Structure 1
Amino acid sequence: MTSKTNLLAITLAVAAISSDFCSGTATAVESTLKIVRSEPEVGRMAKDFELEVAAGQRSGTVRLSEITGEGPVVIAILRGFPGSQCPACAGQVADLVRHAHYFQARNAEVLLVYPGPASELKAKSKDFLEDTKLPAPFTMLLDPDYQLVSDYGLRWDAPHETAYPTTIVIGKDGKIDFVNISRTHRGRTTATTILDQL
C-alpha cells in the first residue's frame, strides 16, 4: 500500500470516526479502524500478493490469485527470524506437515510465509527448515521487508518482533473463510482446526 493510499485511508477513517462519535455509533468506529489496519476478515476477498518461493512444491514465485481457483489455500504467517528462530512457529509447521496427506486429500495448498529483512531472508528461511524438504502441498514463501504482513495489517512493529502469527483459510472463490490472528507468540492454529475449516 503506498503512502498516498495510507494517507487517504487514515483521512477517511478520521472523517468516519468523527461522524460516528457525533451519532454515537461505536460499532462503525471499530469497523473503520479494521479497514485502516487492513487485517484479513472472514467474508472479505483476500488481498492478492506475489512472493518468491523459498522451498516446497512450487518454484519461482506464487501469485495468490492464480492458485485460489485450484482449491482452498491455507496461509500460515510465521514470525521469521526476530533474533532467533521461533520455536512456536517450528512447532506449528511440524504439526501442519504431519497432516500433509490430509491437506492433499482436500486439494488444499498450504503456504508458509516467512517475513524478515530482505538481505538475510533466504539464509534464515533455509536455517528454519534445516534442509528439510517440504512435502506436497506445502510451499514456503519469502516476505522481504514485511511487504505482505504490512499490507495485510499484521506487522508486529516492536523490538524483536516481525509479524503477528496468523492463519488464514481462503476458499476457491478467493474469499476468506477462516482467520486466526495471535497477538502473542502462542495461540497458533492447529492442523486439526484448519482441516475442520476445509
Structure 2
Amino acid sequence: MKTAMPLLATCSFLLATVAAVPVMAQSDAANRSKGSGTKLAEGQTAKDFTLPAVAGELSGDVKFSEVNEKGPVVVVVLRGYPGYQCPACSAQVADLVKHADQFAEKGVRVLLVYPGDESQLAKHADEFLHGTKLPRPMTFLLDPGYQFTNAYGLRWDAPRETAYPSTIVVDRSGKISFMNVSNSHRGRVKADDVLAAL
C-alpha cells in the first residue's frame, strides 16, 4: 500500500522502541475490566460525538452516529501529544494500516482519535502522520480540548499523560461489542484481534 509507507517504514523501529516505554504491570483482562474507571461497558450504546477529520477517508466534521448508520465502527483512542509522539501509538496505527483492506472488506470504518489541548493539536497530529495518507476505511480525528476523551471517561489526567489508549468496537446497532482500555502506554489490541472481534 504505497500511500501508507511513511508509517509502515518506521514500524519495525517503533516496535523495538515500544519496549523502552515505561509501563505498569497489568494483564489484558485487568486492562479491559478496570481501564480508566470509565463507565463504558460492552453492551452499552456508544455515546454520539462529532470531531474534525484531518486525514483519511472522511473529511470535515465527522458525526459518529452517521458513520455508525452505515456499519460497524472501530474507535481507536491514541495518546495524542503528551510532550512527544508516542511510539506505541505509531506502531498501533501502522498495524491497523497494514490491515486496512480487511477492515474495508468487512464494511468497517476505523476512526483514530488524537486528543489534546486545542493549541498546537493540528500541528502535532500532522507531525504524527508525517505525510502518511491513511487508506480507506480509516479516518484521523482530532479531539481538541479532550471533549470526546472526557465524555467517554478516558482522560488520563496526570503529568505528561493525555488519554488511556483504548480500542472500542461498536456494532451497526450502536452497541459496544468489544472494548479494551489500557492503564499503561502499551496494552494495545492488535488489528488481527480487532478483526476477530467484529
CA distance in 2 between counterparts of 1:168 and 1:93 reads 15
CA distance in 1 between counterparts of 2:130 and 2:73 reads 25
1:109 aligns with 2:109: yes
CA distance in 2 between counterparts of 1:177 and 1:86 reads 27
1:164 maps to 164
1:51 aligns with 2:63: no
* Counterpart AA for 1:148: F
Cα offset for 1:67? 1.2
Cα offset for 1:169? 0.2
Extract structure 1 runs of 4+ deviating beyond 6 A.
none
1:187 maps to 187
* TM-score with structure 2 setting the length: 0.81
Cα offset for 1:60? 0.4
Judge conservation of contact 1:38–1:151 (CA < 8 Å) in 2.
no
2:131 maps to 131
Bigger-Rg structure (1/2): 1
Match of 2:193, SS state, is: helix
* Counterpart AA for 1:100: A
Judge conservation of contact 1:39–1:154 (CA < 8 Å) in 2.
no
CA distance in 2 between counterparts of 1:155 and 1:107 reads 29
1:122 maps to 122
Q: Which has the higher helix share?
A: 1
Cα offset for 1:54? 1.2
Counterparts in 2 of 1:71-110, with a 5 A limit? 71-110=71-110
Cα offset for 1:38? 4.7
Match of 2:120, SS state, is: helix
Match of 1:91, SS state, is: helix
* Counterpart AA for 1:46: A
* TM-score with structure 1 setting the length: 0.81
CA distance in 1 between counterparts of 2:190 and 2:38 reads 24
CA distance in 1 between counterparts of 2:154 and 2:129 reads 23
Cα deviation, 1:70-106, whole Å, max 9, x if unaligned, reads 1110000000000000000000000000000000000
Counterparts in 2 of 1:6-25, with a 5 A limit? none
Cα deviation, 1:134-160, whole Å, max 9, x if unaligned, reads 000000000001111111000000000
Judge conservation of contact 1:83–1:160 (CA < 8 Å) in 2.
yes
Instruction: List runs of 5+ in structure 2 lacking aligned partners.
Output: 1-33
Cα deviation, 1:39-58, whole Å, max 9, x if unaligned, reads 32100000000000011111
Instruction: List runs of 5+ in structure 1 lacking aligned partners.
Output: 1-33
Specify which structure has the bigger relative contact order, considering alpha-carbon pairs within 8 angstroms and separated by 6 or more residues. Answer: 2
1:26 maps to none
TM-align CA RMSD: 1.0
1:70 maps to 70
CA distance in 1 between counterparts of 2:41 and 2:127 reads 32
* Counterpart AA for 1:195: L
